[in-house]
Amino acid sequence: MWLIIAIFAVAAVIGLTMAIAAFQGNFPPVPSAILHGVFAAAGLVLLILAVFVKGAAGAALWALGFFLVAALGGFGMALAFHARKKALPKGLVAGHALLAVIGFLLLLAGTLKLI
């Protein structure tokens, strides 16, 4: 699980820089968006494997649910706004980030056996 957490952490740092840009009224750089998506997708694929192949349950399963919803929102923002060079709606950015942070914290807490 630690590799998955590290990959999601990298995605989160890149996402934070993009969110800051969006909230400042700037357009997040496309290379950042691509890297964010690649790291998040890699973490998601590994988490899916951990849950469905290795049998991880509990917090990992809940984290997967939050990450999947966050991924749908991120993919939607990428196609509907970022690819068309439209400003990202701050509410969608915040919702996407909130879902991903909840998923990350659940995964981390489960791995540390806090829940």
Q: Is the pLDDT of residue 82 over 90?
A: no
How much is the pTM?
A: 0.93
pLDDT reported for residue 89:
94
The pair of three-digit structure tokens given for residue 65, joined into one six-digit string: 């649910």
> Is 64:47 a contact under the CB 8 Å cutoff?
yes
pLDDT reported for residue 30:
93
The arithmetic mean of pLDDT across residues 92-115, rounded, is 97
Q: Is the pLDDT of residue 94 over 90?
A: yes
pLDDT in tens, 12-58: 999 999 999 999 999 999 999 999 999 999 999 999 999 999 999 99
Instruction: Please report, rounded to a whole number, the percentage of residues in the chain having pLDDT higher than 70.
Output: 100
pLDDT reported for residue 83:
86
Tell me the three-class secondary structure of 11-45, residue by residue.
HHHHHHHHHHHHHCCCCCCHHHHHHHHHHHHHHHH
The arithmetic mean of pLDDT across residues 61-78, rounded, is 97
Alpha-carbon span 71 to 96, nearest angstrom: 8
Alpha-carbon span 59 to 36, nearest angstrom: 23
Alpha-carbon span 96 to 100, nearest angstrom: 6
Give the type of residue at 47. Answer: L
